[in-house]
Structure 1
Amino acid sequence: MMTTLSGNTPSAKDTQTNKILVVDDEPNHLKTIQRIFMKSAYQLVFAENGKQALAMLPQFQPDLVILDVRMPEMDGHQLCRHIKNDPPQRGTMVLMLSACADLPERLAGYRALADDYLTKPFDADELRAKIRILLRLKNTQDELSALNHSLGKIVRMRTRELIKKDRQALLGTMLGGIVHNIRGPLTALQGNIEVADLLTRQILAKEEASVEEILETVEKISSLHQTVKRAIGQADEMLTNLLTRSRDGAKSNRREMDLNAVIREELDFFNTDRVLGKSIHKKLLLHPQLPPLMGNHTDFSQLIYNLVKNAADAMVAAPVRELTISTDLDDGHIILAFRDTGSGIPPEDIDKIFDLYFTTKSSDHHAAAVQPSGTGIGLYTCDQIVRAYGGTISVDSQPNQGTCFTIRIPHSSQAR
Protein backbone atom coordinates (compact mmCIF):
# COMPACT_ATOMS: atom_id res chain seq x y z
CA MET A 1 0.00 0.00 0.00
CA MET A 2 1.11 3.64 -0.55
CA THR A 3 0.68 6.41 2.00
CA THR A 4 1.77 10.05 1.67
CA LEU A 5 2.30 11.65 5.05
CA SER A 6 2.69 15.41 5.54
CA GLY A 7 2.19 17.96 8.26
CA ASN A 8 4.95 19.92 10.00
CA THR A 9 6.94 22.48 8.07
CA PRO A 10 9.82 20.53 6.50
CA SER A 11 13.47 21.48 6.30
CA ALA A 12 15.10 22.71 3.07
CA LYS A 13 16.05 19.16 2.15
CA ASP A 14 12.64 17.76 3.06
CA THR A 15 10.94 20.11 0.58
CA GLN A 16 12.14 17.75 -2.14
CA THR A 17 9.54 15.25 -0.79
CA ASN A 18 11.96 12.41 -0.23
CA LYS A 19 10.43 8.98 -0.80
CA ILE A 20 10.86 6.18 1.74
CA LEU A 21 10.05 2.48 1.32
CA VAL A 22 9.48 0.60 4.60
CA VAL A 23 9.83 -3.21 4.43
CA ASP A 24 8.87 -5.39 7.39
CA ASP A 25 6.84 -8.62 7.75
CA GLU A 26 5.47 -7.49 11.12
CA PRO A 27 2.34 -5.29 10.65
CA ASN A 28 2.82 -3.73 14.09
CA HIS A 29 6.29 -2.53 13.15
CA LEU A 30 4.91 -0.95 9.96
CA LYS A 31 2.21 0.82 11.97
CA THR A 32 4.81 2.09 14.47
CA ILE A 33 6.90 3.68 11.73
CA GLN A 34 3.76 5.09 10.11
CA ARG A 35 2.85 6.80 13.41
CA ILE A 36 6.37 8.19 13.87
CA PHE A 37 6.25 9.92 10.47
CA MET A 38 2.55 10.83 10.48
CA LYS A 39 3.36 14.57 10.50
CA SER A 40 6.43 14.46 8.27
CA ALA A 41 6.71 15.64 4.66
CA TYR A 42 8.08 12.31 3.45
CA GLN A 43 6.20 10.09 1.01
CA LEU A 44 6.05 6.57 2.45
CA VAL A 45 5.32 3.21 0.87
CA PHE A 46 4.97 0.01 2.92
CA ALA A 47 5.82 -3.55 1.86
CA GLU A 48 5.24 -6.69 3.91
CA ASN A 49 8.09 -8.76 2.45
CA GLY A 50 11.17 -8.55 0.28
CA LYS A 51 9.55 -9.80 -2.94
CA GLN A 52 6.75 -7.26 -2.66
CA ALA A 53 9.31 -4.50 -2.11
CA LEU A 54 11.36 -5.70 -5.08
CA ALA A 55 8.33 -5.30 -7.35
CA MET A 56 7.71 -1.76 -6.07
CA LEU A 57 11.24 -0.44 -6.52
CA PRO A 58 11.27 0.39 -10.28
CA GLN A 59 8.10 2.49 -10.17
CA PHE A 60 8.43 4.11 -6.75
CA GLN A 61 12.22 4.74 -6.90
CA PRO A 62 12.72 5.51 -3.19
CA ASP A 63 15.48 7.68 -1.80
CA LEU A 64 15.69 5.52 1.33
CA VAL A 65 14.67 1.96 2.24
CA ILE A 66 14.01 1.08 5.90
CA LEU A 67 14.59 -2.66 5.82
CA ASP A 68 13.92 -5.41 8.35
CA VAL A 69 16.62 -8.11 8.33
CA ARG A 70 14.69 -11.27 9.17
CA MET A 71 11.88 -11.93 6.69
CA PRO A 72 10.65 -15.09 4.94
CA GLU A 73 11.45 -15.93 1.29
CA MET A 74 13.81 -12.96 0.74
CA ASP A 75 15.57 -11.59 3.81
CA GLY A 76 16.83 -8.04 4.25
CA HIS A 77 20.42 -8.86 3.30
CA GLN A 78 19.33 -10.33 -0.04
CA LEU A 79 17.11 -7.34 -0.85
CA CYS A 80 19.84 -4.89 0.17
CA ARG A 81 22.36 -6.57 -2.15
CA HIS A 82 19.86 -6.44 -4.99
CA ILE A 83 19.30 -2.70 -4.46
CA LYS A 84 23.00 -1.86 -4.25
CA ASN A 85 23.91 -3.98 -7.30
CA ASP A 86 21.16 -2.61 -9.54
CA PRO A 87 22.52 0.45 -11.43
CA PRO A 88 19.27 2.47 -11.34
CA GLN A 89 18.86 1.83 -7.58
CA ARG A 90 22.42 1.64 -6.23
CA GLY A 91 22.34 5.22 -4.92
CA THR A 92 19.34 4.42 -2.70
CA MET A 93 20.15 4.65 1.01
CA VAL A 94 19.39 1.54 3.09
CA LEU A 95 18.77 1.58 6.84
CA MET A 96 18.73 -1.96 8.32
CA LEU A 97 16.49 -2.78 11.30
CA SER A 98 17.02 -5.89 13.43
CA ALA A 99 16.14 -7.17 16.86
CA CYS A 100 19.67 -8.63 17.08
CA ALA A 101 22.31 -6.21 18.36
CA ASP A 102 25.29 -8.61 18.08
CA LEU A 103 28.37 -7.35 16.23
CA PRO A 104 28.33 -10.24 13.69
CA GLU A 105 24.75 -9.32 12.78
CA ARG A 106 25.68 -5.66 12.23
CA LEU A 107 28.76 -6.60 10.21
CA ALA A 108 26.61 -8.87 8.03
CA GLY A 109 24.41 -5.86 7.28
CA TYR A 110 27.39 -3.72 6.30
CA ARG A 111 28.73 -6.53 4.10
CA ALA A 112 25.38 -6.47 2.33
CA LEU A 113 26.20 -2.77 1.62
CA ALA A 114 23.67 -1.28 4.05
CA ASP A 115 24.36 2.38 4.80
CA ASP A 116 23.37 2.30 8.47
CA TYR A 117 21.99 -0.07 11.13
CA LEU A 118 19.49 0.33 13.95
CA THR A 119 18.42 -2.27 16.52
CA LYS A 120 14.86 -2.94 17.69
CA PRO A 121 13.28 -1.66 19.81
CA PHE A 122 14.50 1.74 18.62
CA ASP A 123 14.03 5.26 19.90
CA ALA A 124 11.79 7.35 17.62
CA ASP A 125 14.07 10.39 17.83
CA GLU A 126 17.11 8.32 16.88
CA LEU A 127 15.24 6.86 13.90
CA ARG A 128 14.25 10.36 12.76
CA ALA A 129 17.86 11.58 13.13
CA LYS A 130 19.32 8.67 11.17
CA ILE A 131 16.78 9.10 8.37
CA ARG A 132 17.37 12.85 8.22
CA ILE A 133 21.14 12.32 7.94
CA LEU A 134 20.88 9.56 5.32
CA LEU A 135 18.51 11.66 3.22
CA ARG A 136 20.85 14.66 3.42
CA LEU A 137 23.63 12.43 2.17
CA LYS A 138 21.38 11.12 -0.60
CA ASN A 139 20.33 14.62 -1.66
CA THR A 140 23.95 15.81 -1.70
CA GLN A 141 24.96 12.73 -3.68
CA ASP A 142 22.20 13.44 -6.22
CA GLU A 143 23.25 17.09 -6.51
CA LEU A 144 26.87 16.14 -7.15
CA SER A 145 25.77 13.65 -9.80
CA ALA A 146 23.55 16.27 -11.44
CA LEU A 147 26.38 18.82 -11.44
CA ASN A 148 28.72 16.28 -13.02
CA HIS A 149 26.11 15.57 -15.70
CA SER A 150 25.57 19.31 -16.19
CA LEU A 151 29.28 19.87 -16.80
CA GLY A 152 29.26 17.16 -19.46
CA LYS A 153 26.32 18.86 -21.19
CA ILE A 154 28.07 22.24 -21.02
CA VAL A 155 31.24 20.85 -22.59
CA ARG A 156 29.28 19.14 -25.38
CA MET A 157 27.16 22.23 -26.06
CA ARG A 158 30.09 24.65 -26.12
CA THR A 159 32.12 22.31 -28.32
CA ARG A 160 29.26 22.14 -30.83
CA GLU A 161 29.05 25.94 -30.87
CA LEU A 162 32.77 26.16 -31.40
CA ILE A 163 32.67 23.74 -34.32
CA LYS A 164 29.92 25.80 -35.97
CA LYS A 165 31.82 29.06 -35.35
CA ASP A 166 35.07 28.14 -37.04
CA ARG A 167 35.78 25.22 -39.36
CA GLN A 168 39.07 26.68 -40.56
CA ALA A 169 42.63 25.71 -39.72
CA LEU A 170 42.43 27.15 -36.19
CA LEU A 171 39.74 24.66 -35.20
CA GLY A 172 42.25 22.02 -34.11
CA THR A 173 44.18 24.53 -32.01
CA MET A 174 41.08 25.85 -30.30
CA LEU A 175 39.71 22.39 -29.53
CA GLY A 176 43.10 21.43 -28.13
CA GLY A 177 42.96 24.56 -25.99
CA ILE A 178 39.56 23.60 -24.61
CA VAL A 179 40.74 20.15 -23.60
CA HIS A 180 43.88 21.56 -22.00
CA ASN A 181 42.36 24.54 -20.21
CA ILE A 182 39.34 22.87 -18.66
CA ARG A 183 41.57 20.20 -17.13
CA GLY A 184 42.01 22.41 -14.04
CA PRO A 185 38.29 22.71 -13.20
CA LEU A 186 37.80 19.04 -14.07
CA THR A 187 40.62 18.07 -11.71
CA ALA A 188 38.95 20.08 -8.94
CA LEU A 189 35.60 18.52 -9.77
CA GLN A 190 36.92 14.96 -9.69
CA GLY A 191 39.03 15.53 -6.59
CA ASN A 192 36.19 17.04 -4.56
CA ILE A 193 33.76 14.29 -5.57
CA GLU A 194 36.33 11.65 -4.57
CA VAL A 195 36.88 13.35 -1.19
CA ALA A 196 33.11 13.58 -0.63
CA ASP A 197 32.75 9.89 -1.45
CA LEU A 198 35.61 8.99 0.90
CA LEU A 199 34.10 11.03 3.76
CA THR A 200 30.75 9.34 3.19
CA ARG A 201 32.26 5.86 3.25
CA GLN A 202 34.34 6.62 6.35
CA ILE A 203 31.42 7.89 8.41
CA LEU A 204 29.11 5.07 7.30
CA ALA A 205 31.76 2.46 8.12
CA LYS A 206 32.20 3.86 11.63
CA GLU A 207 30.28 1.58 13.97
CA GLU A 208 29.57 4.04 16.77
CA ALA A 209 29.49 7.42 15.01
CA SER A 210 27.57 10.07 16.93
CA VAL A 211 24.95 12.27 15.34
CA GLU A 212 27.30 15.25 15.81
CA GLU A 213 30.13 13.47 13.93
CA ILE A 214 27.79 12.55 11.09
CA LEU A 215 26.39 16.08 10.82
CA GLU A 216 29.96 17.48 10.77
CA THR A 217 30.79 15.13 7.90
CA VAL A 218 27.66 16.18 6.02
CA GLU A 219 28.67 19.85 6.39
CA LYS A 220 32.12 19.03 4.97
CA ILE A 221 30.47 17.32 2.01
CA SER A 222 28.24 20.36 1.49
CA SER A 223 31.35 22.57 1.43
CA LEU A 224 32.92 20.29 -1.20
CA HIS A 225 29.68 20.58 -3.13
CA GLN A 226 30.14 24.39 -3.27
CA THR A 227 33.68 23.96 -4.63
CA VAL A 228 32.33 21.60 -7.30
CA LYS A 229 29.76 24.21 -8.36
CA ARG A 230 32.53 26.84 -8.54
CA ALA A 231 34.64 24.54 -10.73
CA ILE A 232 31.73 23.95 -13.10
CA GLY A 233 31.08 27.70 -13.32
CA GLN A 234 34.74 28.32 -14.06
CA ALA A 235 34.77 25.69 -16.82
CA ASP A 236 31.61 27.16 -18.37
CA GLU A 237 33.02 30.70 -18.28
CA MET A 238 36.30 29.48 -19.75
CA LEU A 239 34.53 27.79 -22.65
CA THR A 240 32.37 30.86 -23.25
CA ASN A 241 35.47 33.05 -23.40
CA LEU A 242 37.04 30.73 -25.95
CA LEU A 243 33.98 31.26 -28.15
CA THR A 244 34.15 35.07 -27.86
CA ARG A 245 37.89 35.47 -27.88
CA SER A 246 38.19 38.68 -29.94
CA ARG A 247 40.31 41.26 -28.16
CA ASP A 248 37.46 43.84 -28.06
CA GLY A 249 35.13 41.26 -26.49
CA ALA A 250 37.72 40.15 -23.95
CA LYS A 251 38.50 43.77 -23.11
CA SER A 252 34.85 44.59 -22.37
CA ASN A 253 34.58 41.66 -19.92
CA ARG A 254 37.40 42.84 -17.68
CA ARG A 255 36.67 43.79 -14.09
CA GLU A 256 38.71 44.77 -11.07
CA MET A 257 40.11 41.66 -9.46
CA ASP A 258 42.35 40.73 -6.53
CA LEU A 259 45.21 38.68 -8.02
CA ASN A 260 46.25 37.38 -4.59
CA ALA A 261 42.72 36.04 -4.05
CA VAL A 262 42.73 34.28 -7.44
CA ILE A 263 46.05 32.62 -6.55
CA ARG A 264 44.66 31.32 -3.24
CA GLU A 265 41.50 30.11 -4.96
CA GLU A 266 43.46 28.20 -7.59
CA LEU A 267 45.63 26.56 -4.95
CA ASP A 268 42.46 25.45 -3.15
CA PHE A 269 41.52 23.67 -6.38
CA PHE A 270 44.97 22.12 -6.67
CA ASN A 271 44.89 20.85 -3.10
CA THR A 272 42.30 18.26 -4.19
CA ASP A 273 44.88 16.77 -6.59
CA ARG A 274 46.65 13.75 -5.10
CA VAL A 275 50.10 14.93 -6.30
CA LEU A 276 49.89 18.68 -5.81
CA GLY A 277 47.88 18.50 -2.64
CA LYS A 278 50.26 16.29 -0.68
CA SER A 279 53.70 15.86 -2.21
CA ILE A 280 54.57 19.47 -3.09
CA HIS A 281 55.28 22.13 -0.49
CA LYS A 282 53.69 25.39 -1.62
CA LYS A 283 54.96 28.73 -0.33
CA LEU A 284 53.08 32.01 -0.89
CA LEU A 285 54.91 35.36 -0.73
CA LEU A 286 52.10 37.75 -1.63
CA HIS A 287 52.40 41.55 -1.56
CA PRO A 288 49.88 42.76 1.07
CA GLN A 289 49.03 46.03 -0.75
CA LEU A 290 48.69 44.70 -4.26
CA PRO A 291 46.44 47.08 -6.27
CA PRO A 292 43.39 45.73 -8.12
CA LEU A 293 44.09 44.39 -11.59
CA MET A 294 41.70 44.98 -14.48
CA GLY A 295 41.26 41.50 -15.88
CA ASN A 296 39.15 38.50 -16.73
CA HIS A 297 39.05 35.97 -13.89
CA THR A 298 39.26 32.94 -16.17
CA ASP A 299 42.33 34.34 -17.96
CA PHE A 300 44.31 34.44 -14.72
CA SER A 301 42.94 31.15 -13.41
CA GLN A 302 44.17 29.54 -16.66
CA LEU A 303 47.52 31.30 -16.35
CA ILE A 304 48.03 30.15 -12.75
CA TYR A 305 46.83 26.60 -13.44
CA ASN A 306 49.17 26.15 -16.42
CA LEU A 307 52.25 27.43 -14.58
CA VAL A 308 51.57 25.46 -11.39
CA LYS A 309 50.90 22.29 -13.40
CA ASN A 310 54.11 22.88 -15.40
CA ALA A 311 56.08 23.26 -12.17
CA ALA A 312 54.52 20.10 -10.70
CA ASP A 313 55.51 18.09 -13.78
CA ALA A 314 59.07 19.43 -13.57
CA MET A 315 59.36 18.31 -9.92
CA VAL A 316 58.09 14.73 -10.33
CA ALA A 317 61.56 13.23 -9.82
CA ALA A 318 63.06 16.05 -7.73
CA PRO A 319 64.36 15.20 -4.22
CA VAL A 320 62.93 18.51 -2.92
CA ARG A 321 59.55 19.57 -4.25
CA GLU A 322 58.86 23.18 -3.40
CA LEU A 323 56.85 25.74 -5.34
CA THR A 324 57.07 29.41 -4.40
CA ILE A 325 54.47 31.80 -5.79
CA SER A 326 55.08 35.51 -5.20
CA THR A 327 53.50 38.85 -6.13
CA ASP A 328 55.18 42.24 -6.03
CA LEU A 329 55.09 45.81 -7.43
CA ASP A 330 57.64 47.59 -9.65
CA ASP A 331 57.41 50.61 -11.97
CA GLY A 332 53.65 50.51 -12.38
CA HIS A 333 53.64 46.76 -12.95
CA ILE A 334 52.31 43.85 -10.96
CA ILE A 335 54.91 41.08 -10.86
CA LEU A 336 53.84 37.46 -10.56
CA ALA A 337 56.51 34.76 -10.21
CA PHE A 338 56.51 30.95 -10.01
CA ARG A 339 59.73 29.33 -8.80
CA ASP A 340 60.12 25.54 -8.60
CA THR A 341 62.90 23.14 -7.57
CA GLY A 342 62.46 20.89 -10.56
CA SER A 343 64.58 19.54 -13.38
CA GLY A 344 65.02 22.85 -15.18
CA ILE A 345 64.92 23.55 -18.91
CA PRO A 346 67.79 22.61 -21.27
CA PRO A 347 69.42 25.73 -22.80
CA GLU A 348 68.59 24.59 -26.32
CA ASP A 349 64.86 24.56 -25.48
CA ILE A 350 64.55 27.95 -23.78
CA ASP A 351 63.71 29.82 -26.99
CA LYS A 352 61.05 27.29 -28.00
CA ILE A 353 59.02 26.72 -24.82
CA PHE A 354 56.35 29.30 -25.75
CA ASP A 355 55.88 27.89 -29.25
CA LEU A 356 52.54 26.25 -29.97
CA TYR A 357 52.72 22.44 -29.63
CA PHE A 358 56.36 22.42 -28.48
CA THR A 359 56.75 20.07 -25.52
CA THR A 360 59.40 17.85 -23.98
CA LYS A 361 56.72 15.72 -22.27
CA SER A 362 55.00 12.60 -23.47
CA SER A 363 51.77 13.22 -25.40
CA ASP A 364 50.14 10.14 -23.83
CA HIS A 365 47.60 11.39 -21.24
CA HIS A 366 46.97 7.79 -20.14
CA ALA A 367 50.56 7.35 -18.96
CA ALA A 368 51.31 6.59 -15.33
CA ALA A 369 50.90 9.41 -12.84
CA VAL A 370 54.68 9.67 -12.42
CA GLN A 371 55.11 10.28 -16.15
CA PRO A 372 54.10 13.89 -17.01
CA SER A 373 52.27 14.36 -20.29
CA GLY A 374 51.52 17.46 -22.34
CA THR A 375 50.39 18.92 -25.65
CA GLY A 376 52.54 22.04 -25.92
CA ILE A 377 49.52 24.31 -25.42
CA GLY A 378 49.99 25.37 -21.77
CA LEU A 379 52.93 27.78 -22.02
CA TYR A 380 51.74 29.03 -25.41
CA THR A 381 48.39 29.93 -23.77
CA CYS A 382 50.22 31.70 -20.92
CA ASP A 383 52.22 33.80 -23.38
CA GLN A 384 49.06 34.74 -25.33
CA ILE A 385 47.18 35.74 -22.16
CA VAL A 386 50.04 37.88 -20.84
CA ARG A 387 50.49 39.61 -24.22
CA ALA A 388 46.77 40.43 -24.30
CA TYR A 389 47.27 42.45 -21.10
CA GLY A 390 50.29 44.33 -22.45
CA GLY A 391 52.60 42.30 -20.23
CA THR A 392 55.65 40.10 -20.60
CA ILE A 393 56.59 36.62 -19.42
CA SER A 394 60.21 35.57 -19.00
CA VAL A 395 61.97 32.44 -17.79
CA ASP A 396 65.16 31.83 -15.83
CA SER A 397 66.22 28.19 -15.69
CA GLN A 398 69.21 25.91 -15.37
CA PRO A 399 69.18 22.12 -15.74
CA ASN A 400 68.65 20.42 -12.34
CA GLN A 401 68.46 23.78 -10.57
CA GLY A 402 64.82 24.67 -11.01
CA THR A 403 62.92 27.23 -13.05
CA CYS A 404 61.39 30.65 -12.41
CA PHE A 405 58.69 32.15 -14.64
CA THR A 406 58.22 35.89 -14.10
CA ILE A 407 55.21 37.83 -15.40
CA ARG A 408 54.99 41.62 -15.52
CA ILE A 409 51.59 43.23 -16.17
CA PRO A 410 50.67 46.96 -16.03
CA HIS A 411 48.23 47.82 -13.22
CA SER A 412 45.50 49.06 -15.59
CA SER A 413 46.45 47.04 -18.66
CA GLN A 414 44.10 47.02 -21.64
CA ALA A 415 43.95 44.56 -24.50
CA ARG A 416 45.93 45.49 -27.53
Structure 2
Amino acid sequence: MENIQILERLLYSCFQNSKIGHLVKGIVHNLNGPIQILSMQIEILRMDTAKDLKVVESTLALSLPDTAANQLKGLTDNLQRRIERLSQMEEALARMENMVNVITNRSQDGEDGQRPLILNQVLEEELDFWNADLFFKHQVGQQLALPTIPTLIVINEGYLRDLIDCLLDAC
Protein backbone atom coordinates (compact mmCIF):
# COMPACT_ATOMS: atom_id res chain seq x y z
CA MET A 1 0.00 0.00 0.00
CA GLU A 2 2.84 2.36 0.82
CA ASN A 3 4.40 1.81 -2.62
CA ILE A 4 1.11 2.71 -4.30
CA GLN A 5 0.95 5.98 -2.37
CA ILE A 6 4.52 6.80 -3.35
CA LEU A 7 3.70 6.07 -7.00
CA GLU A 8 0.53 8.16 -6.78
CA ARG A 9 2.51 11.12 -5.40
CA LEU A 10 5.12 10.68 -8.12
CA LEU A 11 2.46 10.50 -10.83
CA TYR A 12 0.73 13.59 -9.44
CA SER A 13 4.06 15.43 -9.32
CA CYS A 14 4.76 14.48 -12.94
CA PHE A 15 1.28 15.65 -13.93
CA GLN A 16 1.78 18.98 -12.15
CA ASN A 17 5.17 19.46 -13.82
CA SER A 18 3.60 18.69 -17.19
CA LYS A 19 0.87 21.30 -16.60
CA ILE A 20 3.50 23.84 -15.59
CA GLY A 21 5.54 22.97 -18.69
CA HIS A 22 2.56 23.57 -20.98
CA LEU A 23 1.85 26.87 -19.25
CA VAL A 24 5.47 27.97 -19.54
CA LYS A 25 5.51 27.04 -23.23
CA GLY A 26 2.51 29.34 -23.80
CA ILE A 27 4.03 32.14 -21.75
CA VAL A 28 7.32 31.86 -23.62
CA HIS A 29 5.48 31.94 -26.95
CA ASN A 30 3.61 35.07 -25.85
CA LEU A 31 6.86 36.80 -24.81
CA ASN A 32 8.18 36.86 -28.39
CA GLY A 33 5.87 39.68 -29.52
CA PRO A 34 6.70 42.11 -26.69
CA ILE A 35 10.42 41.32 -27.03
CA GLN A 36 10.31 42.22 -30.73
CA ILE A 37 8.38 45.44 -30.03
CA LEU A 38 10.85 46.49 -27.32
CA SER A 39 13.76 45.68 -29.60
CA MET A 40 12.36 47.83 -32.42
CA GLN A 41 11.52 50.72 -30.08
CA ILE A 42 15.02 50.66 -28.58
CA GLU A 43 16.51 50.75 -32.09
CA ILE A 44 14.29 53.71 -33.04
CA LEU A 45 15.26 55.55 -29.83
CA ARG A 46 18.92 54.85 -30.58
CA MET A 47 18.63 56.29 -34.11
CA ASP A 48 16.67 59.34 -32.91
CA THR A 49 19.17 59.98 -30.12
CA ALA A 50 22.11 59.64 -32.52
CA LYS A 51 20.47 62.19 -34.86
CA ASP A 52 19.88 64.59 -31.96
CA LEU A 53 23.48 64.14 -30.86
CA LYS A 54 24.75 65.05 -34.34
CA VAL A 55 22.59 68.18 -34.39
CA VAL A 56 23.85 69.26 -30.97
CA GLU A 57 27.48 68.54 -31.90
CA SER A 58 27.20 70.48 -35.17
CA THR A 59 25.62 73.38 -33.27
CA LEU A 60 28.52 73.28 -30.81
CA ALA A 61 30.90 73.80 -33.74
CA LEU A 62 29.39 77.25 -34.25
CA SER A 63 30.52 80.31 -32.35
CA LEU A 64 28.17 80.39 -29.38
CA PRO A 65 28.14 82.29 -26.11
CA ASP A 66 29.79 80.32 -23.30
CA THR A 67 26.51 79.75 -21.47
CA ALA A 68 24.83 78.22 -24.53
CA ALA A 69 27.93 76.14 -25.37
CA ASN A 70 28.09 74.77 -21.81
CA GLN A 71 24.41 73.86 -21.90
CA LEU A 72 24.87 72.09 -25.23
CA LYS A 73 27.89 70.21 -23.88
CA GLY A 74 25.73 69.05 -20.98
CA LEU A 75 23.06 67.98 -23.44
CA THR A 76 25.70 66.08 -25.45
CA ASP A 77 26.78 64.23 -22.32
CA ASN A 78 23.16 63.34 -21.52
CA LEU A 79 22.55 62.05 -25.04
CA GLN A 80 25.70 59.92 -24.91
CA ARG A 81 24.59 58.44 -21.57
CA ARG A 82 21.20 57.66 -23.10
CA ILE A 83 22.90 55.80 -25.93
CA GLU A 84 24.88 53.79 -23.36
CA ARG A 85 21.68 52.97 -21.45
CA LEU A 86 20.00 51.91 -24.69
CA SER A 87 22.94 49.57 -25.33
CA GLN A 88 22.49 48.06 -21.87
CA MET A 89 18.78 47.63 -22.57
CA GLU A 90 19.57 45.91 -25.88
CA GLU A 91 21.98 43.54 -24.14
CA ALA A 92 19.38 42.67 -21.49
CA LEU A 93 16.76 42.15 -24.17
CA ALA A 94 19.14 39.92 -26.15
CA ARG A 95 19.67 37.79 -23.03
CA MET A 96 15.89 37.54 -22.58
CA GLU A 97 15.46 36.61 -26.23
CA ASN A 98 18.15 33.96 -25.88
CA MET A 99 16.38 32.48 -22.83
CA VAL A 100 13.10 32.40 -24.74
CA ASN A 101 14.83 30.69 -27.68
CA VAL A 102 16.44 28.09 -25.41
CA ILE A 103 13.10 27.24 -23.81
CA THR A 104 11.39 27.18 -27.21
CA ASN A 105 14.07 24.86 -28.59
CA ARG A 106 13.79 22.57 -25.57
CA SER A 107 10.02 22.37 -25.94
CA GLN A 108 10.41 21.32 -29.58
CA ASP A 109 12.91 18.52 -28.88
CA GLY A 110 11.95 15.40 -30.75
CA GLU A 111 9.59 17.22 -33.11
CA ASP A 112 12.08 17.23 -35.94
CA GLY A 113 14.24 14.26 -36.86
CA GLN A 114 17.89 14.40 -37.78
CA ARG A 115 19.42 17.82 -38.12
CA PRO A 116 22.84 19.43 -38.09
CA LEU A 117 23.87 20.58 -34.65
CA ILE A 118 26.76 22.62 -33.33
CA LEU A 119 27.62 20.93 -30.05
CA ASN A 120 29.33 24.00 -28.56
CA GLN A 121 26.20 26.05 -29.22
CA VAL A 122 24.02 23.41 -27.53
CA LEU A 123 26.35 23.38 -24.51
CA GLU A 124 26.20 27.19 -24.24
CA GLU A 125 22.40 27.12 -24.55
CA GLU A 126 22.17 24.46 -21.85
CA LEU A 127 24.37 26.52 -19.54
CA ASP A 128 22.14 29.55 -20.17
CA PHE A 129 19.09 27.40 -19.46
CA TRP A 130 20.57 26.12 -16.20
CA ASN A 131 21.41 29.69 -15.16
CA ALA A 132 17.68 30.16 -14.61
CA ASP A 133 18.15 27.95 -11.54
CA LEU A 134 19.30 30.34 -8.81
CA PHE A 135 21.36 27.72 -6.98
CA PHE A 136 23.17 26.75 -10.17
CA LYS A 137 23.68 30.38 -11.20
CA HIS A 138 25.12 31.57 -7.89
CA GLN A 139 26.59 28.49 -6.23
CA VAL A 140 28.06 26.42 -9.06
CA GLY A 141 31.36 27.56 -10.53
CA GLN A 142 31.11 27.89 -14.28
CA GLN A 143 33.95 27.96 -16.72
CA LEU A 144 33.33 26.95 -20.30
CA ALA A 145 36.33 26.52 -22.61
CA LEU A 146 35.12 24.66 -25.66
CA PRO A 147 37.35 23.41 -28.47
CA THR A 148 36.32 23.98 -32.07
CA ILE A 149 34.58 20.83 -33.24
CA PRO A 150 32.72 20.01 -36.45
CA THR A 151 28.95 20.15 -36.82
CA LEU A 152 27.21 16.94 -35.76
CA ILE A 153 24.14 15.25 -37.20
CA VAL A 154 21.95 14.34 -34.24
CA ILE A 155 19.10 11.86 -34.44
CA ASN A 156 17.38 13.06 -31.28
CA GLU A 157 18.40 16.40 -29.83
CA GLY A 158 16.32 15.71 -26.73
CA TYR A 159 18.56 12.77 -25.78
CA LEU A 160 21.65 14.93 -26.22
CA ARG A 161 20.19 17.70 -24.05
CA ASP A 162 19.13 15.14 -21.43
CA LEU A 163 22.69 13.78 -21.36
CA ILE A 164 24.08 17.30 -20.92
CA ASP A 165 21.51 17.96 -18.18
CA CYS A 166 22.64 14.81 -16.35
CA LEU A 167 26.26 15.92 -16.57
CA LEU A 168 25.47 19.43 -15.33
CA ASP A 169 23.22 18.06 -12.61
CA ALA A 170 26.09 15.89 -11.38
CA CYS A 171 28.30 18.97 -10.90
| TM score, norm. by length of structure 1 | 0.21
* Higher RCO by CA contacts (8 Å cutoff, separation 6 or greater): 2
Structure number with the higher helix fraction is 2
Q: Which structure's CA Rg is the greater one? A: 1
Structure number with the higher strand fraction is 1
| TM score, norm. by length of structure 2 | 0.45
